[in-house]
Structure 1
């Protein structure tokens, strides 16, 4: 049973990094080199006492976004950290300043927007090695929740948001 319409592409374009643009708090940052995040909806079975060992049901689940990080050139990382530090009460601490991350892909007839809400910087991993490559910083972030939007359905979430909490 087909649940959606998959478009056949012959000599067409698929979404890739070159189709994307990234924004933090609606400010475009051009030095991003990668984004990682993983959404989970951890559900548990409720077990009954019958001899067959069949579950009575399952919980609605606990939603989380784990393993999140953004990778960027060192100059972009410094610009981001400075912008967040300016928004903190003391003008220096950037770890507790929340931001909104948007990644948008646009290619011919395809448009996808991924949004990460309630982001905060949770650390830093810096890397440079002997060679021609530019210095890259990987910044781990904590994320409250993520939304996915396509032209067909806006604001899709992995969790049930009928109560409008987000």
Structure 2
């Protein structure tokens, strides 16, 4: 069964690390080395009182984006922190400044855009180890919501957005 525009690529290119472009607040961000995020829609069953124990229905759910972080090379992570700190009212607190993260993958006939809205840095994890690898900082972030777009469908979301809040 073929699903929509799912194309079989014999010796073709799939999206990967070298297909990715990142932007923070529409400025290109070259120094990132990874991003993690997980969308969830937590639904609850409404149980009936009949003997079969069958649920009566299910709630629309509670949407969240959890476990989010940006990994960046040390100099790039510090440049991001400094830029966000400059935008804060006191010029120092980089964790209170919201930003927009865009990740786009482009390969020949594939173009996918993922957007994270209402991001804020919620911590910083720096690690240093003996070796030849470059230093990488991990910046845990909170995310308000995520949006996925392909050429076929713009602005797909895991949650029901009929109220137009986002």
Q: How does the TM-score come out when normalised to structure 1?
A: 0.98
Q: CA deviation at 1:15?
A: 0.2
How far is the alpha carbon of 1:2 from its aligned partner?
Answer: 4.7
Partners of 2:107 and 2:32 in 1: CA distance? 19
After superposition, residues 17-166 of structure 1 pair within 5 angstroms as 17-166=17-166
Separation in structure 2 between the aligned mates of residue 148 and residue 110 of structure 1, nearest angstrom: 14
Structure 1 runs (4+) deviating above 3 angstroms are none
Aligned pair count?
166
Deviation at 1:127, TM superposition (A): 1.2
* Deviations 1:53-106 (CA, angstroms, capped at 9, x unpaired): 000000000000000000000000010000000000011110110000000000
Looking at structure 2, the residues matched to 58 and 5 of structure 1 have their Cα atoms a distance apart, in angstroms, of: 31
Where does the alignment leave 5 or more consecutive residues of structure 2 unmatched?
A: none
TM-aligned CA deviation for residue 4 of structure 1: 2.2
Cα RMSD after superposing both structures? 0.8
Q: TM-score, normalised by structure 2?
A: 0.98
Query: How many angstroms apart in 2 are the aligned matches of 1:27 and 1:59?
Result: 39
The runs of 5 or more residues in structure 1 that have no matched partner are: none
Separation in structure 2 between the aligned mates of residue 3 and residue 133 of structure 1, nearest angstrom: 41
